Amino acid sequence: MAFATPADLEARLGRSLTADEAARAAAVLDDVSAAIQSYTGQKFARGTYRVRSRVRRGVVRLSQRPVHDVTAVTDRFGNPVSYNWDGLDRVHINTTCRPGAPIQVVDITYDAGPDHPPADIVGVACNVALRALGADPLDSGVVSESIDGYSYRLGVIGSAGSYGLLPDEARVLDKYRRPYGTIRVGV
């Protein structure tokens, strides 16, 4: 699912897309959306998500946000597990609710994601897509080069790639990135 539409591109561009741009727009928007999804770990679409996760210190943190509801928690064999959802993104698991070995892995089914992609995600998707549409995919990223005083200059495509993120775009997306873990340093 693309996070932006050709109409969003035209609104930011201030003109209608050319025939060549219009022919490529849907595919470019799909590619850019996939790159954003890969970078953030978020799908930006409301839906039912299922995750199998290791329980760490009695807690599982859900990756898709915002979480609207947790509908089921089971152990890896499909048996229901006692849990408490904190109302945000953490599910507290009672790991000792059954005799025997503690529960280490759970399957969680939950409803999450925004109803529509946030405006800043649409904006970044459009910026990257317009940059990609404005460049011939076969062109090199080098805009100029000189030999005597040895200098070269990279264009936007050379510095970030046709679907790459510029630093300001990455900063916008960083607030949506899925946390992969934390490091705690004792003092």
Residue from 126, 120, 114, 113 nearest 172 by CA: 120
- As a whole number, mean pLDDT of residues 57-86 equals 93
| CA distances (Å), origin 74, targets 49, 69, 98, 164 | 14, 15, 13, 39
Measured in residues, the chain has a length of: 187
d(CA 78, CA 67): 22
Query: In the predicted model, what is the mean pLDDT of residues 154-164?
Result: 54
CA dist list (Å): 1 to 4, 5, 28: 9, 10, 12
Instruction: With both helix axes pointing from N to C terminus, report the angle between 119-133 and 19-40 in degrees, rounded to the nearest 10.
Output: 130
CA-derived radius of gyration, the chain: 22
26-43 pLDDT tens trace: 999 999 999 999 999 999
pTM: 0.76
pLDDT at 1: 84
Which residues are CB-contacts of 184 (< 8 A; sequence separation ≥ 6)? none
The whole-angstrom separation of Cα 29 and Cα 60 is: 33
Question: Which amino acid would we find at residue 89?
Answer: D
Distance (Å, whole) CA 41 – CA 107: 19
Instruction: Give just the sign of the alpha carbon dihedral 55, 89, 127, 15.
Output: positive
Contact 179, 61 (CB under 8 A): yes
Distance separating alpha carbons of residues 112 and 45, to the nearest angstrom: 8
Q: Where does the pLDDT of residue 182 fall: very low under 50, low under 70, confident under 90, or very high at 90 and above?
A: very low
Q: How far apart are CA 94 and CA 4, in angstroms?
A: 41
pLDDT above 60: residue 181? no
Boundaries of every domain in the chain:
6-43+118-174, 47-112
- Mean pLDDT value of segment 59-84: 94
